[in-house]
Amino acid sequence: MKRKITINDIARDLNISKTTISFVLNGKGAEKGISESSQTRILDHVKKISYMPNFSAQGLRTGKTKTICMMVEDIADPFFSSIARAMEEIAYMKGYKILYSSTENNTQKAKDLIQFYRRRQVDGYILAPPPGIEEDINELIDDNLAVVLFDRTLIGIEADNVLVDNFDISYKAVKHLIENGYRNIAMITLYSEQIQMTERERGYKEAVDEIKNTYFIKNIGFYDHPASNVQEIQRFIDLNNNIDAVFFTTNYLAEMGLEAIRNLKLRIPEDLGIVVFDDDKLFRLFSPTITAIAQPIGEISEHVIKLMLMLLSGKGVKKAKKSIVLPAILQIRESSRPKSD
Amino acid sequence: MKRKITINDIARDLNISKTTISFVLNGKGAEKGISESSQTRILDHVKKISYMPNFSAQGLRTGKTKTICMMVEDIADPFFSSIARAMEEIAYMKGYKILYSSTENNTQKAKDLIQFYRRRQVDGYILAPPPGIEEDINELIDDNLAVVLFDRTLIGIEADNVLVDNFDISYKAVKHLIENGYRNIAMITLYSEQIQMTERERGYKEAVDEIKNTYFIKNIGFYDHPASNVQEIQRFIDLNNNIDAVFFTTNYLAEMGLEAIRNLKLRIPEDLGIVVFDDDKLFRLFSPTITAIAQPIGEISEHVIKLMLMLLSGKGVKKAKKSIVLPAILQIRESSRPKSD
DNA sequence: GTCGGTTTATAAACCGTTTTAGTAACCAAT
DNA sequence: ATTGGTTACTAAAACGGTTTATAAACCGAC
């Protein structure tokens, strides 16, 4: 096994102290008054033997790990995995590595993960937080760690965050159904007090209020058994057979809903108009194509990572926390086309 | 800012040497003959002040980072993100963290990433390798790092690997089309010499050979502009209008293909039967539902991570490398239903 | 009572960096 | 010839653990 090259080897080879080498490698050559000749000598040699500083040693000495963690509900969900992909790209260019984890929206799991990451001395936390971890997050902030929230916030937490205007786009989505002639519009959503969900519900209600109709709301348990959820949705649609459109507040629910609708042999949109929160790249290929709310993945990722890098660079630490609200886009497709009757 | 608690603080508080504490915390209490009373005293105190060892310090001293990296084509691809999710779960329980990266199947990007990870002293490498990095991988192996390949292998590399029987399932998929009355079956695939792709092609050819028909093969550039790829596929199907079925060798190609078919206003499966390599959770909800080859995600993940942990534990390092080949499943749905004419 | 073995514990070295606190050498000015 | 100020560089401490080598205390046996 090859022995690892260390800075001491270079010092010996070049007969220069390791202090000097460290200065040069960290770009402090000029500042520390290291001669040009020494600098090039060092840099050339380092390149030649392709030396790489030991990361653990650097981390130990500086207290920084150049590592950011990102905790989301489910990293395999297309919304989150696309965000992850976009952030990774930007972070990598800045020398940072992102660690991903799925919380399943489970409070205890999230708490455990935060402990795990603290132990690993990650520098920053990007979180789509589950409920009930306000305290843990505030602890992070108290300990001067960089925290950025996205997708949702928690009350009582002062942290930079990036959100989508859930209320506005939900309102527009339901309004769109109404304008296309749908009247008895149901909402299928999760049991959840989380702000992104309550805002979506508020948007739905506001639009339904405008036509003075009643709400048809079905709540589904979060990570329950999918098969029974399909059953539940199916029963709900079947019992409320005056419903002529459904607004699904997550794509996960829409997936189950589409199965329920298929089981009931209902036609989309003749029997039931459909709008889904969160687009999927296959929705535009369905027959009929599915109308969906597309969150601006690229923008969200950029804002989040920019805020994070700013915090990590030390700027903005003492500044007032920013809350960025981005608009989403309603991708109108065939599943919500104007009613013909 | 709270100062971090270190092992020295505990030593001072308890008036016990840090050596003893380290032994106890690493479970070597018995082996090193530390009395029960000291052990409980240490463990209780550690729990009380919720001490956590500094990860960088441990990494520096032991040379281990308890970190595994995983490099795949695109971490946002549902196949890879599902695998990632499954592996993360298992690794976490063993105290390992997985770092994910997307290579975009780009040789240079993969080389850069490997360098990046070496600098971070990751303990193990889980790779779905792009072409042309044989040398880099062999270097890893020479340096005694744990390497497991999956999804594909590279010739000239001696590493544990987990594959799906691409040939067999592709053969079965095309055979299935034939049995359902399709005769002029096209394959739409990537320009690629990678083994998983050549095996899929071999399966297609073998099945087509059995009915002594000609091949209809369209190759698509890898990460080209998607819109022009759709055009290309469209033209291919249009020109070869005797084709009655298509076998897509990746779901990424199928996505473009479905768009092309939609543009051509062809009916599935009346005008064109469809089989896709790699299932998508929405395929069973399409109208018509899409026949797809489902790779055994759970099994793949389990085997890969098990091999990796074995290597990391030191067992099996000197053993002959294992090559595990798993069967895939053909999910038969409506898009390949028997021809009625 | 001292020798050898066991039990229990620890001091000090070590991992590979960064950073602090200095210093040697040179020059210009007094 | 001494002082003061640069310039160019470095020895040693520090980061927080793990591991090696060693030792004190106690015990029973000769």
Distance CA A56, CA A307 (A): 26
Nearest to B184 by CA among B216, B162, B142: B216
* For range A114-143, the mean pLDDT: 92
Which 195-254 residues of chain A touch chain B by CB within 8 A?
none
Instruction: Give the single-character DSSP code of A76.
Output: T
How high is the pLDDT of residue B316? 57
Identify the pLDDT of residue B314. 75
Bond preceding residue A288 cis, omega within 30 of 0: yes
Nearest residue, CB atoms, A119 vs list B52, B142, B258: B52
Which residues are paired to B124 by β-bridges? B68, B146
Residue A256 binned pLDDT confidence (cut-offs 50, 70, 90) = very high
* pLDDT for position A153: 93
Domain extents in chain A: 7-53, 65-164+298-324, 166-295+330-336
Query: Coil, strand, or helix at residue A140?
Result: helix
Distance A28 CA to D4 C1' (A): 26
DSSP letter, residue A285: G
Query: For residue B226, what pLDDT is reported?
Result: 77
Q: Would the pLDDT of A307 be above 90?
A: yes
pLDDT at A317: 62
- Distance from the Cα of A210 to chain B's closest Cα (Å) equals 33
Q: Residue B35: what pLDDT?
A: 86
Higher local confidence (pLDDT), A127 or B228: A127
For the structural domain made of A7-53, what CATH number should be given?
Answer: 1.10.260
Q: Which 3 state secondary structure label does DSSP give A211?
A: coil
Q: Is the pLDDT of residue A43 over 70?
A: yes
Give every strand in the sheet of B273-277, ordered side by side. Answer: B216-220, B185-190, B245-248, B273-277, B291-294, B329-331
Q: With an 8 Å Cβ cutoff, are A76 and B78 in contact? A: yes
pLDDT at B264: 95
H/E stretch holding A329: strand A329-331
Average pLDDT along chain A: 92
Bond preceding residue B78 cis, omega within 30 of 0: no
A315 pLDDT above the threshold of 80: no
What CATH number does the domain located at A65-164+298-324 have? Answer: 3.40.50.2300
pLDDT of residue A232: 93
**Measured in angstroms, what separates residue A37's CA from nucleotide D7's C1'?**
14
**Grouped pLDDT means (10 residues each) for chain B, 341 residues:** 82 92 91 87 92 94 94 91 91 91 92 90 95 93 91 92 97 97 96 93 97 94 79 94 95 93 95 96 94 97 95 75 95 94 64
Q: Which two tokens stand for residue A37?
A: 């000749």
Q: What pLDDT is recorded for position A152?
A: 94
Residues 58-77 in B contacting A (C-alpha not used; CB under 8 Å)? 58-60, 65, 74-76
Residue A7 CB lies within 7 Å of the nucleic strand C: yes
Task: Read off the pLDDT of residues A55-106 as tens digits, 9 standing for 90 and up.
Answer: 999 999 999 999 999 999 998 888 999 999 999 989 989 889 999 999 998 9
Structure tokens at B337: 């239903």
Domain B65-163+298-325: state its class: alpha beta
Whether A1 sits inside 8 A of B143 (CB atoms) is yes
Higher pLDDT, A142 or A242: A242
- What percent of chain A is predicted at pLDDT more than 70? 97
**Bases of chain D within 7 A of a CB of the protein:** 7-12, 14-21
Tell me if residue A216 falls in helix, strand or coil.
strand
Query: What pLDDT shows up at residue A320?
Result: 80
Task: Give B166-295+330-336's CATH code, choosing from 3.40.50.410, 3.40.50.2300, 3.40.50.150, 3.90.1150.10.
Answer: 3.40.50.2300
Asked if the domains at A65-164+298-324 and A166-295+330-336 fall in one CATH topology, the answer is: yes
The CA radius of gyration of chain B, in Å to the nearest whole number, is 26
